[in-house]
Amino acid sequence: MTLSDLRAYPAHTQPITLSCISNPVGGSSIGTAHWTGVRLSDLAEDLGLRPEAGYLHIQSADGFYGTVPLEAVLNPESLLVYGMNNRSLPDKHGFPLRIYIPNRYGMKQPKWIERIEAVEEDPGGYWTDRGWGKQALANTTSVINVIAVDEAHDGWIPVGGVAWAGARGIQQVEIQVDSGPWQLATLRTPSLGHLAWIQWRHEWTSTPGAHVLSVRATDGSGELQTSEQTGTLPDGATGYHTREVEI
């Protein structure tokens, strides 16, 4: 199939946040964009997958390869992506074609796709063959991006950031100052959608001295972000993001 063939299918645009599995807590290897493409489920129906097909094995121009289970292929939010922010997909983001699978880290989202083959058994993937987790399911994460000390007014300091939980969405975000009680932050509305991060804001009543601020989120299913501090290998980093500030 050519890119023109794929563009002949109905186009779907989704606001999507994508994170690298090697992104540490509070790291910068995460971003959000509007991605446009064809639904994998539409394509799979027309291609007539055989009953024994269990996975799609994807090969990229740079030698990368990955595997997508059939249940993810049939998810209507899974896309073969050819556009980003109302333009053609940029080279560095995978032109001419990449894939998006909800609720997974970037290691499951091959770029520069050349070939897709339906297979019966899971043949593995580039990063799983190198010790990273097989599922690459997104962990709930929340980040303090700004403590706006320069905008303080009568002791009130704006604090803000983002939270993300793959395709599960975010139900609430809470802030803790030092060892005090957790306080609800305000979520920006309307949100971009459950596939994208959500911005949050909190007005902190500050006091002079050194402080540590922490953030945590609850995903759309009601599950609280884990406080357990883990590294990125093999399943992605977990733990609360903290920032120190002197008032």
* Domain ranges (residues) in the chain: 3-130, 141-246
H/E stretch holding 146: strand 141-147
CB 214, CB 176: distance < 8 Å: yes
| Residue 47, pLDDT score | 84
- State yes or no: pLDDT of 200 exceeds 90: yes
Asked whether the predicted pLDDT for residue 44 surpasses 90, the reply is: no
Spatial contact of 244 and 36, defined as CB atoms under 8 Å apart: no
pLDDT above 90 for 175: yes
Cis peptide before 96 (omega within 30 of 0): yes
What pLDDT, in 10s, does the model give residues 50-82? 999 999 999 999 999 999 899 998 999 999 999
The span from the CA of 36 to the CA of 79, in Å, is 8
Both structure tokens of 195: 């596939």
pLDDT of residue 146: 98
**Which single residue is written with the structure tokens 């446009």?**
36
Fold of 141-246: Immunoglobulin-like (2.60.40)
Do residues 209 and 247 lie in contact, with contact meaning Cβ atoms separated by under 8 Å? yes
Mean pLDDT for 177-182 is 97
What local confidence, expressed as pLDDT, does residue 100 receive?
A: 97
Q: Under DSSP, is residue 212 helix (H, G, I), strand (E, B) or coil?
A: strand
**pLDDT in the model for residue 46:** 87
Average pLDDT of the segment spanning 89-114:
96
Work out the pLDDT band at 186, boundaries 50, 70, 90. very high
Query: How far from each other are the two terminal CA atoms of the chain, in whole angstroms?
Result: 60
CB neighbourhood size of 121 (10 A) = 10
- Per-residue pLDDT band at 160 (split at 50, 70, 90): very high
Domain 3-130 belongs to what topology? Sulfite Oxidase; Chain A, domain 2 (3.90.420)
